[in-house]
């Protein structure tokens, strides 16, 4: 039985190892059983699954995952937590801890070694300082992943699930929409962690698409358009895109493309859906780029 997941036990483990949470690694340990069960349920973890956990910390969520999954591979950057994890996970023979930076580790090699190349589920209470790079690495690397269930800052969760027109809509919303179907699972208050983060949190479930929802000739070019549009979100698309030399387009070419698509030539990026960015990308590439 998982015994972590409450404040008293978490404090006891930290005291036993004379440790405190490290801010530089984004350490906020979960202490709420309902939230922990909710994460495992949302991820739909079964004995058939191999789960990649990012940042096991002192092993709290890892214990819950180990109870439900066939295998858990936990990647932790902080080497001082490795002896703690050996202790808190000693009852489980289906957990492997890897002391590495998740942004550097070869996830494909992990999937091959521990799951015979079959898709894994990623489940994590993410370190908030690198949420976006982690999500982008998971998706852009193209490794076989079935779903990603993660605790993130509430504000980031909103950006992941929002559509055009909302103030939270931006390049992260579009990247997530391109790779996955996103669903917000639950809001989590700061009191569910030790130490308490300064912001609210939320769990999101990202079910990876089997094939991309839009067809685009050059994915990289489309994402460069998206990044440019939202880096200067107060500017019109024709101004922002023509200011980025790597896109190789003029103001007129952008305006013509928008008009051809039936969109106001003074439109900003925030009104375009993913399918429209794909169309704009294809038109601009053939008109000038």
Closest CA to 284 of 243, 246, 230, 248: 248
Pairing mode, strands 50-54 and 120-125 = parallel
Q: Which residues are registered as beta bridge partners of 205? A: 149, 183
- By beta-carbon proximity to ligand SAM, the closer residue of 1 and 211 is 1
The length of the chain, given as a count of residues:
289
43 binds ligand SAM per the rule CB under 6 A: no
Which range in 74-82, 139-147, 153-161, 182-190 contacts ligand SAM by CB under 6 A? 74-82
Which range in 21-29, 63-71, 115-123, 233-241 contacts ligand SAM by CB under 6 A? 21-29
- By beta-carbon proximity to ligand SAM, the closer residue of 81 and 258 is 81
Pairing mode, strands 201-208 and 180-188 = antiparallel
Give, as ranges, the residues between 80 and 139 that touch ligand SAM (CB under 6 A).
101-103, 125, 127, 130
56 binds ligand SAM per the rule CB under 6 A: yes
Helices (H), the chain: 7-16, 33-43, 60-68, 82-88, 107-115, 131-140, 154-161, 171-179, 219-231, 237-242, 251-260, 274-287
Q: Which of 35, 40, 43, 78 binds ligand SAM (CB under 6 A)?
A: 78
30 binds ligand SAM per the rule CB under 6 A: yes
The CA-atom distances, in angstroms, between 54 and each of 4, 261, 286 are: 17, 42, 41
Q: Which of 51, 60, 175, 254 binds ligand SAM (CB under 6 A)?
A: 60
Which positions lie near ligand SAM, rule CB under 6 A? 25-30, 54-57, 60-61, 75-78, 101-103, 125, 127, 130
């Amino acid at each position: 039985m998982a015994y972590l997941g409450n404040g008293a036990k978490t404090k006891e483990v930290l005291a036993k190892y004379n440790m405190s949470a490290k801010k530089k690694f984004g350490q906020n340990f979960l202490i709420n059983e309902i939230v922990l069960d909710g994460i495992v349920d949302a991820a739909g973890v079964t004995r058939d699954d191999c789960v990649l956990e990012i940042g096991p910390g002192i092993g709290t969520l890892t214990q819950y995952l180990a109870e439900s999954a066939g295998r858990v591979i936990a990647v932790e950057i902080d080497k001082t937590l490795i002896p703690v994890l050996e202790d808190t996970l000693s009852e489980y023979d289906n957990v492997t801890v890897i002391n590495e930076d998740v942004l550097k580790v070869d996830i494909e090699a992990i999937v091959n070694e521990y799951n015979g190349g079959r898709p894994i589920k990623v489940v994590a209470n993410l370190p908030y300082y690198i949420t976006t790079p982690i999500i982008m690495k998971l998706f852009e690397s193209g490794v076989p992943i079935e779903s990603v269930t993660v605790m993130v800052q509430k504000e980031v969760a909103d950006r992941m699930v929002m559509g055009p027109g909302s103030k939270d809509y931006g390049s992260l919303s579009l990247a997530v929409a391109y790779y996955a179907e996103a669903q917000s699972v639950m809001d989590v208050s700061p009191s569910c962690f030790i130490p308490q983060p300064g912001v609210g949190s939320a769990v999101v479930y990202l079910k990876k698409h089997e094939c991309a929802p839009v067809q685009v000739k050059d994915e990289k070019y489309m994402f460069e358009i998206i990044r440019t549009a939202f880096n200067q979100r107060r500017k019109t698309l024709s101004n922002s895109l023509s200011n980025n030399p790597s896109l190789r387009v003029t103001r007129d070419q952008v305006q013509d493309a928008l008009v051809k698509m039936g969109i106001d030539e003074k439109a900003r990026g925030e009104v375009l859906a993913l399918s429209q960015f794909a169309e704009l990308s294809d038109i601009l590439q053939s008109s000038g780029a």
